[in-house]
Amino acid sequence: MPTIPRLFLHHPLSSGMEVPGSADQAHYLQTVIRRDVGDDVRLFNGQDGEWDAQITALRRDRVSFTLLTRNREPSTEDDLWLVFALLKRDHTDLVVQKATELGASVIQPILTSRTNAARVNEARLGSIAIEAAEQSERLTVPEVRSPLPLSDLLEHWPADRPVFAAIERASVAAIRPHRGACALLVGPEGGFTPLELATLRRYPFVTPVNLGPRILRAETACLVGLALLRGAGLG
């Protein structure tokens, strides 16, 4: 039995509604996975839970669905943010994809002295987050924000949200699970500069932590840190 495709829509969802999909979704359903009118799909929009639906119209560049019944009620994700020094394109793509799978609610790239990239294609990263949410059966899609300089981010940071900053080669406490609102901060390859480290330590909401005895690549540190902050379970 073929897997029922799962799609994210920017549209309210309720029983009996007919809602449009995108041209890309039409192409995916018709050309890539060979679905047709009458076939089942599952839809979600980040607010109204997940719905069983059927394809009611399908052409090469357009598709529409009829909502049947809700199979999952709306739920909230852990309020976990990932802040990471922007990486080269493929590594940034990987971080966004895997952070979505691990439940990050906000993904915030930053610019540091040793950041080896300066720009991102925000539309592409948003699409990667949507595809990862569809695949991982999340009910929400994380917000992928525009890159900010580290100093600007810290200056306007909400003081009631603790930041756990992964600092390599530092005699600091190991990262521990944290269930409340929080953020993981991961620096660039080569780490933060001494000036950046001194700046971080001036903010009371920043707690330096280590991720273990090995020096990890930046993208690995992002994923390990998120998993450790969430604890053993990924649900």
Q: What is the pLDDT of residue 217?
A: 92
- 6-72 and 80-230 share one fold: no
Predicted confidence (pLDDT) per residue in 23-42, tens digit: 999 999 999 999 999 999 99
Q: What is the pLDDT of residue 173?
A: 85
Would you say 9 and 41 are in contact if contact means Cβ atoms under 8 Å apart?
A: no
Q: Which residue has the higher pLDDT, 235 or 185?
A: 185
Backbone angles phi, psi at 126, to 5 degrees: -60, -40
The tokens 């901060």 sit on which residue? 185
Q: What is the pLDDT of residue 168?
A: 79
Reported pTM: 0.91
Q: Which of the 8 DSSP states describes residue 137?
A: T
Predicted confidence (pLDDT) per residue in 67-92, tens digit: 999 999 998 778 999 999 999 999 99
Q: What is the pLDDT of residue 233?
A: 44
Output the average pLDDT for the chain. Answer: 92
Q: Which of the 8 DSSP states describes residue 35?
A: -
> What does the domain layout of the chain look like in residue ranges?
6-72, 80-230
Q: Coil, helix or strand for 223?
A: helix
Would you say 105 and 79 are in contact if contact means Cβ atoms under 8 Å apart?
A: yes
Predicted confidence (pLDDT) per residue in 176-227, tens digit: 999 889 999 999 988 999 999 999 999 999 999 999 888 899 999 999 999 9
Q: What is the pLDDT of residue 235?
A: 43
> Which pair of structure tokens corresponds to residue 108?
């915030």
Domain 80-230 coded CATH 3.40.50.2300: no
CA pair distance 153, 209, nearest whole angstrom: 19
CA pair distance 103, 136, nearest whole angstrom: 10
Predicted confidence (pLDDT) per residue in 153-173, tens digit: 999 999 999 999 999 777 888
> Which of these, 232, 234, 178, lies nearest to 207 by C-alpha position?
178
CA pair distance 147, 138, nearest whole angstrom: 24
pLDDT band (50, 70, 90) for residue 1:
low
Q: What is the pLDDT of residue 234?
A: 43
CA pair distance 183, 163, nearest whole angstrom: 5
Predicted confidence (pLDDT) per residue in 40-62, tens digit: 999 999 999 999 999 999 998 99
Q: What is the pLDDT of residue 2?
A: 72
> Which of these, 198, 181, 212, 219, lies nearest to 91 by C-alpha position?
219
139: left (phi over 0), alpha (psi -120 to 50) or beta: alpha
Options 2.70.70.10, 3.30.420.40, 2.40.240.20, 3.40.50.720; CATH for 6-72 is: 2.40.240.20
Q: Environment class of residue 191 by beta-carbon count within 10 Å: exposed (0-12), middle (13-18) or buried (19+)?
A: buried
